[in-house]
Structure 1
């Protein structure tokens, strides 16, 4: 096995973004004060993330390589099979990174343990540092025991595809009415006009998908490791040419939900990352099914 490379994934802090926008600390402080906030809270969060990254850098085994990438640059960063990913931030950052991975183990690190506990960022910086040290002694494969979380993939008929850890959205770019033909795994088909579709994993079943399921009477949703997906059509509009009878269901392994575009253009994006999306034009077919690459989250 090649020498492991530890890749730190993080996002710019609010303080860094404020300084980018306002140029000086004084201007940033004035901006926050006009909105009833203090720069001291922003500074504290910045310091906690900086300290977490510093402690993890110091824990990288001497024989390992390491690199860093910000969230905004993930789509342009070249990952390799021997990489181990350390996501330092909130749960959403793990989901953002998941779509670019192909089986690399992910260590979710919470830079603010105890303040805003996450589900996917399960390690404190100190615990993650100890984990890396143990992995260096016994070998990363033996030490990094992973839980495989289900992903969802949308594939266009021209070969393009996009994956998500939480959910995939298909609809109009501005969330206006999208027109398409929906075909279920059982062969039922219906022309629809709606606010779009959500296809969710068990990890995403506590977010966007949960709010839709609650409105529909609380349909049971899959668990994060279940090989099932839940799908929902948002606000289907019945008319003389469109229906609203096929609006929810479950996809098991090997099953696909097919959407044939019947409007100028629809967009497909995962986990709320609207800037990283696919576009499908009139007549194109989109198939959504279980992802072939689960997220390997270090337990």
Structure 2
């Protein structure tokens, strides 16, 4: 007999909860904000809206289903199951934080603060939860397949991200490495032959998807004046940029930007003591590579299944 679906509610601590954890009481938190020209009233109202949305989402889960909750800080220790339906309650960024730990489970994004969040990934209200859960398990709804990026190290460490993956030195200082591309048709690399690796010193490499094209990736794209267009969220295409490559007698700057399609990859071999690889800003959950190790970055085989 197959298991009943499990609704996994993903949330994060509100600003009010973080203030209480730091200052101990409502009064002390209010004094702290007042001393900085802010009022705690709006913070409390946002907290109340978040808690109300969580209650409404939990109440919409069918009685025959199983249920679970996980806070953002615990995502890297939570075991998602194939039969899960993941309900992200919060901001767009929380969907991205969750996506890297999934393996194709349907995701429902619930916006707890309409008008304050862009609503790119959290597209629904808590009142829609029951209908969305039915659609996720009966095939009655539409699902957007959002391209993800994946890094695979030579020691089998693996990391996925929805927006972008960053490779560089801890603290964003100068990283030294060899960079090359390959696999399938060559990537659109600026400079000399794409298959040849180049030694570089830079403040890191960013590889991003169409979903990440509204954030960090877009800022680099605009800064470089790249002639090609940014990918869309479902496009099987990645863009990559080297940040502040430094020319020297032993390091070059001919490979600083490019595009990757399916079957193509960017290869980086470490030539310094330590390089970290993290996705979607979650630097605390990173791969760590040391001298001589290599990592391949390309389109992930798994995409994010966002219920619409």
If the TM-score is normalised by the length of the shorter chain, which range does it land in? over 0.9
State the match for 1:168 in structure 2.
Answer: 165
SS at match of 1:9: strand
Q: Cα–Cα, structure 1 residues 115 and 272, in superposed 2: closer, same or farther, change >3 Å?
A: closer
CA positional deviation for 1:114 = 3.1
**Residues 55 and 129, structure 1, Cα contact 8 Å, conserved in 2:** no
State the match for 1:205 in structure 2.
Answer: 213
Normalised TM-score (structure 2)? 0.93
State the match for 1:41 in structure 2.
Answer: 42
Answering whether residue 134 of structure 2 is matched by residue 123 of structure 1, we say: no
Q: Distance in 2 between the 1:283 and 1:111 partners?
A: 46
1:188 aligned residue (188, 191, 196)? 196
**Residues 169 and 269, structure 1, Cα contact 8 Å, conserved in 2:** yes
Answering whether residue 149 of structure 2 is matched by residue 152 of structure 1, we say: yes
State the match for 2:174 in structure 1.
Answer: 177
Q: Distance in 2 between the 1:53 and 1:13 partners?
A: 12
2:269 aligned residue (257, 260, 269)? 260
Q: Deviations over 1:5-32 (max 9, x none)?
A: 0000000011111111111111000001
Q: Distance in 2 between the 1:266 and 1:278 partners?
A: 8
CA positional deviation for 1:140 = 1.1
Q: Distance in 1 between the 2:240 and 2:261 partners?
A: 11
Q: Distance in 2 between the 1:91 and 1:188 partners?
A: 38
Gaps of 5+ in 1: none
Q: Cα–Cα, structure 1 residues 188 and 170, in superposed 2: closer, same or farther, change >3 Å?
A: same
**Residues 105 and 144, structure 1, Cα contact 8 Å, conserved in 2:** no
Q: Cα–Cα, structure 1 residues 44 and 276, in superposed 2: closer, same or farther, change >3 Å?
A: same
State the match for 2:291 in structure 1.
Answer: 282
Q: Distance in 2 between the 1:225 and 1:2 partners?
A: 31
**Residues 108 and 132, structure 2, Cα contact 8 Å, conserved in 1:** no
CA positional deviation for 1:191 = 0.6
**Residues 206 and 217, structure 2, Cα contact 8 Å, conserved in 1:** yes
**Residues 152 and 296, structure 2, Cα contact 8 Å, conserved in 1:** yes
State the match for 1:90 in structure 2.
Answer: 91
Normalised TM-score (structure 1)? 0.96
Q: Distance in 1 between the 2:37 and 2:9 partners?
A: 33
**Residues 6 and 67, structure 2, Cα contact 8 Å, conserved in 1:** yes
Q: Distance in 2 between the 1:44 and 1:210 partners?
A: 33
**Residues 6 and 64, structure 1, Cα contact 8 Å, conserved in 2:** yes
State the match for 2:230 in structure 1.
Answer: 221
Q: Distance in 2 between the 1:294 and 1:148 partners?
A: 6
Q: For the aligned residues, what is the CA RMSD?
A: 1.2
SS at match of 2:172: coil
Gaps of 5+ in 2: 187-194
Q: Distance in 2 between the 1:270 and 1:143 partners?
A: 32
2:257 aligned residue (231, 248, 259)? 248
**Residues 7 and 65, structure 2, Cα contact 8 Å, conserved in 1:** yes
